[in-house]
Amino acid sequence: MQHFTKIDGKVEVNITYPAGFMDVISVEKTGEHFCLVYDMKGCFVAHCITVEEAKYKLCKVRMIMVGMKGIPHLMTHDAQTIRYPDPLTKVNDTVQIDLGTGKIINLIKFDMGNVCMVIGGATLGCVGVITNRGRHPGSFNVVHVKDANGNSFATRLSNIFVIGNDNKPWISLPKGKGIQLTIAEERDKRLATKQSRG
């Protein structure tokens, strides 16, 4: 097996390696870089990205803890453990990690008005702006999201992955830009494309 493929900046020769959401896949021989994200159908897609974008990845903070000798740690969604994080970092925030050094270079807070991608549930793959967060003690916290077309939907807090500040995502989005269309809208779009070709 030749060492052509890198996942998150590390050479990987295992063909069954479990790559997951937000992982950066680089093929240096062809100069191609991909990021694994969800499309608007809720399926994994290898989205082609630029060289600059392939130098970092976004990770959701799953847990913050204090280890031995009082050293603070955080654990990300892809099971990375990073020591001495920014004290402002909270659970559900997103950190930008440099793939060369493995260190945190930036932080996106889980706040209203920030762009997010849904990573679970019925609206998997949708991208929108966080409009409201409902707290329900003893049950699931619910987050309300509004997409670029003005459609609103709600999902569990655990299904939200913040990808940018304000209306600017820090990653490029795949085809469809995370906007879920109804069956009628999909049909109209398909017919319009067919007529423009014909």
Range 105-118 burial, b when 16+ CB lie within 10 A, else e: eebbebeeebbbbb
| pLDDT tier for residue 179 given thresholds of 50, 70 and 90 | confident
Q: Answer yes or no: are the C-beta atoms of 143 and 154 closer than 8 Å.
A: yes
How many Cβ atoms sit within 10 Å of the Cβ of residue 197?
Answer: 6
**Per residue in 125-140, pLDDT tens?**
999 999 999 989 999 9
The one-letter code for the residue type at 146 is: K
Provide the pLDDT for residue 181. 80
- Over 80: is that where the pLDDT of 43 sits? yes
| pLDDT tier for residue 115 given thresholds of 50, 70 and 90 | very high
Task: Using alpha carbons, select from 51, 25, 52, 50 the residue that is nearest to residue 37.
Answer: 25
The mean per-residue pLDDT over the stretch 88-100 comes to: 94
**Per residue in 64-76, pLDDT tens?**
999 999 999 999 9
pTM attached to this predicted model? 0.87
- Over 60: is that where the pLDDT of 169 sits? yes
Provide the pLDDT for residue 54. 93
Provide the pLDDT for residue 1. 55
**Per residue in 78-89, pLDDT tens?**
999 999 999 999
